[in-house]
A and B are shown apart, each in its own frame.
Chain A
Amino acid sequence: MNKLSKNTKKINILLDGKEVEAQEGENIVELAKRHGIDIPVLCYYEGMGECLGTCRVCTIRWKRHHVSACTLKAEEGMDLTIETEDLKDLRKALIELLFVEGNHFCPSCEKSGDCDLQHLGLKLEMTVPRFHYRFNNRSINFDADKILFEHNRCILCKRCTHKFEDDNGERVFAFKGKGSNLSVEMNIERANGLSEELVDQVVELCPVGAILKKGKGFDRPIGKRKYDE
């Protein structure tokens, strides 16, 4: 939660031309939300601490540059552009890129209805991506006892690699490779040592259906999932 602190300096900034009150250093996604503007986010989540800024889905404009709102902190006199048609389209394009880069088959994914990527696709009214599907050849890692790693769906957001540790404070997931060969590697021994609660936590942390609890499957009815209306 981005709590407003009494000790922080109050400042004024412009959101889409409208002057609003902010606290110096406030996270722009949270600030905008306070003022009724919903900036789409994917790698960001409330209360995450240091933002990752990997997905760029929260892209807005500041000083004629495109910047990610989640990593931007409020400064006196800022003039931010958020809700223009071109920016909305740019954010939609970023979602489309994530869809074409992976192999996302929502109909049989157990995260369907709970998936942040699917939710954003629907919210931003994505129908067919404007980019060609890459049909990357990716695998599924069945080796761990409790976790199934579905590389086809990983959007490389870094949540699992940077925001998750086992009981000993060790990381279980890490990046491997570079550029288009970048992927997440799971440490099988550490994954097998995770408690049920930690497995549930990391499954919840992953915004898509890449980290799954084995055997959990489609455990909730339609109507009771995160994004069901």
Chain B
Amino acid sequence: MTNKIVIDPVTRVEGHGKVTIHMDDNQKVEEARFHIVEFRGFEKFIQGRPYWEAPVLVQRLCGICPVSHHLAAAKAIDQIVGAHQLSAVGEKMRRLMHYGQVLQSHALHFFYLAAPDLLFGVDGPVEQRNIVGVIQQHKDLALKGIKLRKYGQEIIKATAGKKIHGISAVPGGIHKNLSRKECDLFINGSSELASLKDCIDWNQEVIDFMIDYHKKNKSWIDSFSVFDSNHLGLIGEDGALELYHGNLRALDSKGRAILNDIDYTDYLDHFEEDVKEWTYLKFPYLKKHGPQNGWSRVGPLARLNICDHINTPLANERLEQYRKFAGEKIINKSLYYHWARLIEMLHCLEMIETLLHDSDLQSNNLIVTGKRQKTGIGVIEAPRGTLIHHYEVSEKDEITRCNLIVSTTHNNMAMNKAVELVAKKSLEGQEKISEPMLNEIEVAIRAYDPCLSCATHAMGEMPLDVKVLDSRGHELFGRKK
């Protein structure tokens, strides 16, 4: 007889997901599954719409990383209107928006969703393990986190028109620039907004905190949800970390190239997606390596694994320190995601600084166009990883086909693996499942920062309801919070 544990929904992740753990009679974990339980259908209902709506409509998939969808769609539609090289201001305004987005999203994830586990412990008091607990017990850290996030959001508002679901990335460029005065405000800060220097200093402090945390918890981190995988992401021409535009690179768990800096518009030649009947999320993999071995991790951990260096000095220094601490170039430990995320935030702040001093942002040459084509493919590194938007458009301007591969989809297999490993370690042989045991599973998922919103429309409070079921679906025991 098989027992089944259900965690539904998984809390402190963005969206609505569910975990089931299937156990045999000997209380051994047979299989763990991470389900995305609701269906959005954006690929279908964008069909029949005019192409210029795609960047504005498809971003409604998500309220957390809409900028990534806005920009990935805009990049794809640039190709439709033949804008293969944007104007300097077009490219730089979009980059600025994107760095603001990665910064705010990473800050949200680290301070609001992950910090409670790190500060209070996986088995800390449940009532403390949330952002309110962080504010009460670590006010200074919480305020810095909130202000860092706000900084990113204000950058988005200034570049996209509003903090959530902006409209400025249009086919072939951008519909607004940024005045010198606005740039100076972001550099110097105001009574309402932190200065750029303060943000960089705070980010550095949090990285120091993280190093300290790793030192104190090394044995746990080094054994928690560690597994070999490939790592995938965009890469700059010189092998630098690249979040906005580049080629696609994948390395295996030992650092050997398995996807060699390909032009992302050729993604269909290299990728396929597997389907399972128990989840709406597909399982992408590299064709050449098949579904079993061809899947990759994406996001901060993968990006820092695949890059040769970072082209901003402070973040690059931190990258070297991070690799030295881990003692390896390719890190396959799930909990390193958080540290990697903080280094990327620093990189974003440095890139924001460079852009804010660039007079191209005041240019009026906002939009370029060229020869129309039928296919548009846009790829971007969203906060959680590689995001692919692909559109086919008729001569009459109608979108006829759309394919989206979102970051969480790439990480699907990795999250299933992470859940299974933790379940095997903490649940096997247990008579009763305690709340900290369940939280450990959530901690593993949270490391990947899944943006389940891409697949759900959950809102409001998220209760945790856990059930252990026998093979006929009868409840053996359960736990609710």
Contact = CB atoms under 8 A, between A and B. Distances in A.
Nearest first, the 10 A-B pairs at minimum CB distance are A222-B161, A217-B52, A108-B57, A142-B396, A221-B176, A218-B167, A142-B398, A108-B56, A108-B53, A221-B161
Interface string A99-137: 000000001101000000000000000000000000000
B424 interface: no
- Size range of the chain B interface in the assembly: 20 to 34
B463 interface: no
B53 A148 contact: no
A146 B53 CA distance: 16
Interface in B160-197: 161-162, 165-168, 170-171, 175-176
Interface string B415-431: 00000000000000000
Report which residue of A140, A212, A215 has the largest number of chain B beta carbons within 10 angstroms of its beta carbon: A215
Given A107-B56, A140-B49, 20 more contacts: A107-B165, A108-B56, A110-B52, A142-B396, A148-B50, A148-B397, A212-B50, A215-B52, A215-B397, A216-B52, A217-B170, A218-B52, A218-B175, A219-B175, A220-B175, A221-B161, A221-B167, A221-B175, A221-B176, A222-B161
Report which residue of B56, B81, B394 has the largest number of chain A beta carbons within 10 angstroms of its beta carbon: B56
B397 A142 contact: yes
Nearest to A148: B50
14 contacts: A107-B60, A108-B57, A140-B49, A140-B50, A142-B397, A148-B397, A212-B50, A214-B50, A217-B52, A217-B171, A218-B170, A219-B170, A219-B175, A222-B167
Contacts of A216: 52
Interface of A: 107-108, 110, 140, 142-143, 148, 212, 214-223
Contacts of A222: 161-162, 166-167
B121 interface: no
A216 B170 CA distance: 9
A133 to B, nearest CB: 16
Interface of B: 48-50, 52-53, 56-57, 60, 81, 161-162, 165-168, 170-171, 175-176, 394, 396-398
A142 B398 CA distance: 7
B106 to A, nearest CB: 25
Given A140-B48, A221-B176, A215 B171 contact: yes
Contacts of B396: 142-143
Contacts of B49: 108, 140
Nearest to A222: B161
Contacts of A217: 52-53, 170-171
Nearest to B161: A222
Contacts of B50: 140, 142, 148, 212, 214
A150 B468 CA distance: 52
A215 B56 CA distance: 14
Main secondary structure of the interface of A (DSSP, over half): loop
A212 B165 CA distance: 21
A110 B170 CA distance: 11
Nearest to B48: A140
A208 to B, nearest CB: 15
Report which residue of B161, B171, B398 has the largest number of chain A beta carbons within 10 angstroms of its beta carbon: B161
B398 to A, nearest CB: 5
B107 to A, nearest CB: 24
Contacts of B398: 140, 142
A218 B73 CA distance: 14
Contacts of B165: 107
B369 to A, nearest CB: 9
A218 B394 CA distance: 20
A221 B171 contact: no
Nearest to A108: B57
A124 B403 CA distance: 40
A148 B48 CA distance: 12
A218 B49 CA distance: 14
Nearest to B60: A107
Report which residue of B50, B53, B56, B162 has the largest number of chain A beta carbons within 10 angstroms of its beta carbon: B50
A143 B166 CA distance: 29
A108 B60 contact: yes
Contacts of B166: 222
Contacts of A220: 175
B423 to A, nearest CB: 40
